[in-house]
Structure 1
Amino acid sequence: MNSKQLQYFLVTVQKGSIAAAARELDIAQPAISQQLANLEREMSCALFDRSFKGVSLTAAGKMFEKHAKKLIDDINVAKMELQQLASNQQGTVRVGMLPSIGNVLSMSLIAQVSQWHPQLKLEISTGPSYAVKEWLQSNQVDIALTYEQEIEAGFMSLYPLIEEYMYLVVGVNDASAYYQLLKHRETICFWELSEFELLTPGPKDALGRLIDQYEHDTGVGLKHDKAYSGQLMTGLRQVIQGEGLMILPSAAMYHLEESKVVQSIKIIQPEMKRKVLAATNSNFAMTDAIVKMLAIIQEVTSKEQQVGHWRGNLVGQLVQDDAKLHVPGSVAI
């Protein structure tokens, strides 16, 4: 008996037929049939009743299903623990973050680690907020840099970093009606945003949920009809071309502001902001490498805030002492 046979067995049970399991696994049907037959011979009993309609479990099959699920769970846990062990031994820390956070932190973080912490190996992955949360939960990353909208009770230990301000972003384009209307503005009331076509992500994304929350709290409905790919850089290109406006933190577009291709207008009444946090998976032990990386992330966040790249208020302080982490105000949920 091997893990492949267990997987084929459980997928066949779930799908109700060998043909459906073959499609799900993208494997030839005879290969699955052969593996299931081998499994039944090893168990010395029939696990399935087969008919032209599909398959159903025998009494023995129902009993075996419980054991198969437990065995697969144990194998997956063993894989994750071994991956964690290998990562710890190599001093590797895997950090997942959103593109907007990566835009302000990635290069500075890489430089800081390379110059001052050569014993650490940093691996960065970027993706949408829901993907970063899934990576942390499945132990594909050690640290997730994410937003308060993605907090999930039960497995996260949280270390607040910054409460960032949100801005209306307009392309500096003389041919754009948006720019002509807004180029002299430094602030804009939230209700005024309802007058403009916005490029916004859907509610699956943390930013989409933040915008929904402010709409709900203020009673102001915004226009979300412009086609948006969900990709930050693509959206900013649309903004630069005058095809719409975006709501973003300075972290996502400060470099374009410095190049004078976009202008940011702070959103007020109410002031629009959100917390950014570092999160670890509380189901896994904290290594010295992870502790050090959390402190480095806090240090780089502070530097980027001080130079104005990441505008907002620092909300957490990590203090490192002999590779042990003391986090005033940290939250474990």
Structure 2
Amino acid sequence: MEMRPLGKMTSALGLWIIIVLLLFGHATESSAHEPSSSALAQEQMHLHSVNFNIATTVSAQVDTKTIFSCYTYSVKNLIMAAWEILPRDKIPCIMAYRSDKNETKEINCTNERITWESRPDWNFTLQIDPVTIDDDGFYTCVLSAPDGNFQYVYQLSVLVPPEITLSMDGNGTTICEASAGKPAAQISWVSEGYCFSVNETHGNRTVTVKSICHWNGLNETKVTCFISHLTGNKTLSIELLPSCLNHSTLSSFYTSLCVPLSLITIVGVILIWKAICHRIYKFQRTRSIPNINTKEEEFYVNYMKSIYYGNESMN
């Protein structure tokens, strides 16, 4: 990493070093000479005017661990090392180490997740474990030595993966939603339909993105939603309902379906009518023809009776 001499920095860095010196009572250890809390607060407010254009941007995903290294080469005869932590919308915190006394001190540091990675007499690396969305901000390391004072600035951007959903309402409108992501997710579709997007920014700086689409007039049966985000990309697919299909296509389909159905209905009616007529004709014909077999049977019965009764009279 590049180290920058104090002579090329703003005067605010000088105020920063003064605060560190006051923290350790460099002039005297007597409490009578310690600065008041209000004086320290005023000194810290000046630190917000530091030019952070030279800051190195670092991204870390929420609920992971991240570290900030203070330097990459040895600083000879180090006097002190300190971290100034400027979270977004929060009070600055200072963590400092003085080498000649081998002691550390802190001011306004209440976040137990932000600590030295190891013993500061071994390593000046700062760690955050785990990272939360409130850790967005600037992290400045300052080293003080006889040959100069140096600083390095990090700007931390916390990434939050969005929650992804894909749904469809009863009208065939499809909604692809990336909820509470940081930064805002990017949404695209295959195949493309008639779409528009709505973004909602929440109080914790996360953003919900909704892409609302419909495919009326397009011959699509399945569509895919692509969600692009710094924490990873995702895809979701959904089958379109029949109401999403082309209206003219449906009309043609219904028309082509009605023609054969009509023909089948007409033929069915004709066949049924013919069957009824045939049964009526057969019934009437049966009634008009005398039953010959019945008459023969009656004749035979009468003949047998005459023979029987004739025999009886002879006896």
* TM-score interval, normalised by the smaller of the two chains: under 0.3
Of structures 1 and 2, the one scoring higher in RCO (CA 8 A, sep 6+) is: 1
More strand by share: 2
More helix by share: 1
Normalising by structure 1, report the TM-score. Answer: 0.22
Normalising by structure 2, report the TM-score. Answer: 0.23
